[in-house]
């Protein structure tokens, strides 16, 4: 195997596949990147038996071949080489030689035949969507997936296609985020739950471009395909929350507020609320809503915090408690200048949504019972 490639191109390929490499495994081969040639192309592959990533880039292939090399070492060396042409070759001792200007490194390799094949997917349903739209949909929901492995179905996002609209839904038991988008091409209705880990990797690889990405779904696998990259992942089993039934349709108190001003208030109050991370749930913020004004308060052994914000209010006065981080996570990804926040009672969830009321993004938070 002999290959010549620009550093920028091969580094982009390595960066794209590196997070598909297994971090804890009894199979050393899964800690590597599979390097394969095909005419004037170089294909890099990683696979941890749950998520597999393939990336194809242009290269000058002088001699065909394949090998597997430790991903971490290969990545760190390429990253630190000069911005120039890099030559990769296998020598007589089966070592991968990496040459660039005056640099020469030799790495141990593994047998490419032992690298497991990525699953072959028989696609039952598929959609095509612009990369920038999917990136935005993931960004606005991924933070609300659960990190608790005892409820694995909630560690992923529901991808639901209904009447040519894609709904991406995340829930962790305390909050729920929904982002909706129209699909240009006609598609069958279907729903699948894709692991949050996979979606984080997809979001790193796709760009803010109008280039399409194809999402294919089989019975237990999903495939994301772009021009030079594909990602294969298992689907999560189980019954997802019937989220439409969980969202309140009516409110008793509603405020209209500048998003940045409210976000700044929560960030300052959180300095007190989260001063002891393990006690954060014991120290929620209290929100008092009166005519034309919202007061955000927090008190614990560290100190007291109070923020007042003048807002537009409708309905009843209300006193309610929340985890401030849940508010901040949503406010950071909302692009609107102003938002509506709708409340029921002090024990029912609140809804954050756009003032234009298009309904394409909804975020719901459960309150915390306040101590007297």
C-alpha distance from residue 109 to each of 28, 34, 291, 317 (Å):
11, 10, 70, 68
Provide the residue ranges of all domains of the chain, joining segments of one domain with +: 2-114, 125-244, 247-365
**Residue 357, pLDDT score:** 64
User: Is 125-244 in the same CATH topology as 2-114?
Assistant: yes
99 token code pair: 């040459």
Report how far residue 307's alpha carbon sits from residue 319's, in angstroms, rounded to the nearest whole number.
14
**Residue 282, pLDDT score:** 53
6 token code pair: 């620009």
What is the Cα gyration radius of the chain? 25
- What pLDDT, in 10s, does the model give residues 52-81? 999 999 999 999 999 999 999 999 999 999
**Which CATH fold would you assign to the domain 247-365?**
DNA Polymerase III; Chain A, domain 2 (3.10.150)
Q: Which CATH number fits domain 2-114: 3.40.50.300, 3.40.50.970, 3.10.150.10, 3.40.50.620?
A: 3.10.150.10
Contacts of 21 (CB under 8 A, 6+ apart): 30, 31, 32, 33, 46, 48, 71, 72
- What pLDDT, in 10s, does the model give residues 300-352? 888 899 999 999 999 999 999 999 999 999 999 999 999 999 999 999 999 99
- What pLDDT, in 10s, does the model give residues 73-123? 999 999 999 999 999 999 999 999 999 999 999 999 999 999 999 999 999
- What pLDDT, in 10s, does the model give residues 212-247? 999 999 999 999 999 899 999 999 999 999 999 899
**Residue 275, pLDDT score:** 64
**Domain 125-244 indexed as CATH 3.10.150.10:** yes
Nearest Cα to Cα of residue 321 among 299, 339, 291, 337:
299
């Amino acid at each position: 195997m002999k290959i010549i490639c620009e550093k920028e191109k091969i580094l982009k390929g390595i960066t794209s596949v590196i997070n598909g490499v297994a971090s804890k495994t009894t199979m050393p081969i899964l800690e590597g990147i599979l390097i394969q040639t095909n005419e004037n192309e170089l294909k890099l592959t990683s696979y941890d038996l749950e998520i597999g990533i393939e990336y194809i880039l242009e290269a000058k292939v002088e001699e065909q071949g394949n090998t597997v090399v430790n991903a971490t070492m290969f990545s760190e060396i390429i990253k630190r080489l000069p911005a120039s042409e890099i030559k990769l070759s296998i020598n007589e001792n089966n070592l991968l030689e990496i040459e660039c200007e005056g640099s020469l490194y030799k790495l141990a390799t593994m047998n490419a035949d032992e690298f497991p094949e990525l699953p072959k997917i028989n696609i039952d349903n598929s959609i095509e969507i612009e990369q920038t739209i999917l990136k935005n949909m993931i960004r606005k929901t991924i933070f609300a997936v659960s990190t608790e492995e005892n409820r694995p179905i909630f560690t992923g996002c529901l991808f639901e296609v209904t009447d040519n609209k894609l709904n991406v839904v995340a829930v962790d038991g305390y909050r729920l985020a929904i982002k909706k988008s129209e699909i240009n091409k006609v598609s069958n209705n279907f729903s699948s739950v894709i692991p949050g880990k996979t979606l984080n990797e997809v979001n790193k690889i796709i760009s803010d471009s109008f280039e399409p990405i194809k999402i294919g779904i089989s019975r237990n696998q999903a495939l994301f395909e772009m021009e030079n990259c594909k990602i294969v992942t298992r689907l999560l089993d189980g019954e997802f929350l019937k989220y439409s039934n969980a969202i309140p349709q009516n409110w008793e108190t509603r405020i209209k507020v500048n998003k940045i001003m409210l976000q700044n208030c929560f960030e300052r109050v959180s300095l007190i609320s989260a001063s002891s991370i393990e006690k954060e749930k014991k120290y929620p913020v209290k929100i008092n809503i009166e005519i034309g004004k919202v007061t955000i308060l927090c008190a614990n052994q560290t100190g007291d915090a109070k923020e007042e914000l003048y807002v537009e209010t409708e309905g009843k006065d209300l006193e309610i408690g929340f985890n401030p981080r849940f508010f901040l996570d949503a406010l950071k990804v909302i692009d609107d200048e102003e938002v509506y926040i709708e409340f029921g009672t002090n024990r029912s969830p609140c809804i954050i949504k756009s003032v234009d009321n298009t309904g394409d993004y909804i975020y719901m938070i459960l309150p915390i019972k306040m101590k007297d």
